[in-house]
Amino acid sequence: MNDPVNSFLTEQDKQFIEERIREAEKTTSGEIVVKVVASSDAYPAAGLLGSSMFSLAIALSAMFVAGSRDMWMFLMLFGVLFILINELLRRVSLLKRPFVSAADMREEVEQAAAAAFYRRGIHDTVDRTGILIYISVFEHRVRVIADKGISAKVEPHIWQEIVDTIISGIRSRRQGAAIADAVERCGRILAEYFPVMPGDRNELGDTIIMGRSFKP
């Protein structure tokens, strides 16, 4: 089964983005981190709901076609279907999406992005100028989190424009180029307020952080 993250970005895309990160950080003392995950949560409740609905519909249809009203047969059929479909939904997470609300996805992405920001030490740079570009594939959502050193100097709509750039690129299937453009834009913003200084060191790695999900 294909990994959604590896399908999202090719090796060429990753190399291109990482090169843009290195180039951007040559002009600033700030740090840019890109994290891409398959999903920000496992959404177990959606799996149970989807399994129940699919199993109920199939079991009822089968009983109708067979012309049977045997309750034990129905329950046995429903149980087997539930187990099989639940395993399918666990392995193919995109099938869960119709059973997850937009509000739940927004909340999970917000929480996972904030957790990644602190877990990766992006909040702990010398001048508090770290920027996280967080992309969650399952939810089709992007978050840009800037530490207080830079966010205090930049209007919030600028970060939203960067988010919109990436989302537009994803929709046109040019996500690699769009993320690279977003990195370059973040680099220009950082360089304007926090240009590179003598003795500056690279506090965070330039490699894209990729994972199946933030939470198991």
pLDDT at 163: 95
DSSP designation for 96: G
| Spatial distance between the Cα atoms of 157 and 163, rounded to a whole number of angstroms | 10
| Spatial distance between the Cα atoms of 154 and 148, rounded to a whole number of angstroms | 10
203 shares a domain with 108: yes
151 shares a domain with 116: yes
List the structure tokens of 182: 């977003």
Answer with the one of 64, 81, 99 that is the final residue of a domain.
Answer: 99
| Spatial distance between the Cα atoms of 111 and 114, rounded to a whole number of angstroms | 5
Strand 31-39 to strand 130-136: parallel, antiparallel, or no bridges (unpaired)?
parallel
Lowest mean pLDDT among 29-33, 113-117, 196-200: 196-200
199 shares a domain with 121: yes
180 shares a domain with 75: no
pTM: 0.86
pLDDT at 216: 41
pLDDT at 40 over 80: yes
Determine the average pLDDT of the residues in 15-23.
94
150 shares a domain with 66: no
DSSP designation for 3: -
